[in-house]
Amino acid sequence: MGEDAAPRAHSGRSFFGYTRSDLSPIVDPAYRATQLFEAVYRQGIHDFERITNLPKALRADLKARLDVGLPDVHRSFDAEDGVRRRLIRLSDGELAETVYIPDGGRTTICVSTQVGCALACGFCLTGQLGLTRHLTAAEIVAQAVLVRHLDIANPERKDGFNIVLMGMGEPLHNYDNVMRALAILHDPAGLNMSMSRITLSTVGLLPELERLAGEHLIPNVAVSLTGATDEKRNRWMPINRAYPIADLVAALGRLPVRPRKKIMLEYVLIRGETDTMDDARALGRIAASLDTKVNLIPLNESPDLALERPDRETILRFQAAVREHGVPTFIRKSRGDDISAACGQLKKTWADGKPEIDLQALGVGGS
């Protein structure tokens, strides 16, 4: 059952933070843990008492030790395009944002990995909050379980969703909890998510990208570039001062083949700032050198950002210029923007002023 059989303290009482092997001290023999996973993750039973194929004594023991209930929804917002954004209440009263995104036959669940974020990107509302805390693995997994339970009513659709780690927070800043969550989501007795159905979006923290390259489970990787020269990227994404573009590109090139083949560069188009033809050419060169796709995200505007999205013609011209480098280039559809559910709009409260990035607190030194 693997070597890390002891339940981790940080999993607390929530069942959703436990891998099957973590359960072995409590649930014996091992096939009982498999039955338990199947009941909770596949059949959606969120009450140990009702898992009737488990012995009564085991059910009572589980109930005394663990909590398998779904988290409470603090508020829910419905957008006209079917997108639903939820604020999920965590055990300490903090809120995590989760977004359900139906798209024709495809469903995507966008989950948060932190409350707030420490990266302070100049165009992102979450970045204005600063970091409150990391989410536990259980809190990350529970978001997907909750949305699957509440929104994916059709049993035939229940397996056909994707997960994007693109909500609040920087997933690689919360590395251990995110990797643990991926392992739990991946378990074939549970949600059985293949890594090709999960996309981790990151600003590109280099030590963690190196660590990721050596993992057994590697999801698709999306890298937020927004700034195709160091000068511009330093301005919009302060993490670039610690990890400049050339180093980032080199680290991405070291990912193993499958995840590397599927890397996506995300680039926010800000009028007059990141939308010039020079920017497009620089972006095209970077993407071509890595053989990646590009996802252009026209800025989602907000009264809290003194920035604008470029007009349609500029966006199309920019896309054409990137494509000239032979790079598949897409414009991301804005979803749920009427309820502030779109990229970069997740922000539960108002913070006063704008936090500076604290590179030292992130453990990266920097200038």
DSSP 43-55: T----GGG-TTS-
Q: How far is the CB of 271 from ligand SAH (least distance, A)?
A: 12
**What's the rounded Cα separation, in Å, for the pair 23 and 31?**
11
Among 79, 198, 263, 268, which residue interacts with ligand SAH (rule: CB under 6 A)?
268
**Measured between alpha carbons, how far is 227 from 235 in angstroms, rounded to an integer?**
8
Whether 356 is catalytic: no
Q: How many residues does the chain have?
A: 367
Query: Is 97 marked active-site?
Result: yes
Q: Which stretch binds ligand SAH (CB under 6 A): 133-141, 147-155, 254-262, 295-303?
A: 295-303
From the CB of residue 190, how many other CB atoms can be counted at a distance below 10 Å? 22
Residues 6+ apart with CB under 8 A from 263: 220, 221, 222, 223, 252, 255, 290, 292, 293
Cβ proximity to ligand SAH, 139 vs 266, nearer residue: 266
152 touching ligand SAH, by CB under 6 A: no
Q: Which residue is nearest to ligand SAH (CB)?
A: 344
To ligand SAH, the closest distance from the beta carbon of 171 in angstroms equals: 7
DSSP 5-25: -SPPGGGTTBGGG--TGGGTT
**Which of 141, 299, 321, 327 forms a contact with ligand SAH (CB under 6 A)?**
299
Please tell me whether residue 297 binds ligand SAH under the rule CB under 6 A. yes
Binding map of ligand SAH across residues 312-331, x = CB under 6 A, - = no contact: --------------------
The answer to whether 48 contacts ligand SAH (rule: CB under 6 A) is: no
| 343 sits near ligand SAH (criterion: CB under 6 A) | yes
- 325 burial type by CB count under 10 A (0-12 exposed, 13-18 middle, 19+ buried): middle
* Half-sphere exposure at residue 302, Cβ-oriented, CA atoms within 13 angstroms: 20
Tokens representing residue 253 in the block: 């090139």
H-helix or E-strand spanning residue 107: strand 106-110
Report the C-alpha gap between 317 and 233 in whole angstroms.
21
- Site string (71-110) toward ligand SAH, x via CB under 6 A: ----------------------------------------
Our finding on whether 170 is near ligand SAH (CB under 6 A) is: yes
166 contributes a contact to ligand SAH by CB under 6 A: yes
Angstrom distance (rounded) from CA 143 to CA 146: 5
Pull the structure tokens for residue 13. Answer: 């009482």
Near ligand SAH in 183-242, by CB under 6 A: 201-203, 224, 226
Report the nearest approach of ligand SAH to the CB of residue 13 (Å).
28
The residue annotated as part of the active site, out of 97, 139, 208, 301, is: 97
What is the nearest approach in angstroms of ligand SAH to the Cβ of residue 22? Answer: 27
Q: Does 344 bind ligand SAH (CB under 6 A)?
A: yes
Binding footprint of ligand SAH on the chain (CB under 6 A)? 123-124, 166, 170, 201-203, 224, 226, 266, 268, 297, 299-300, 343-344
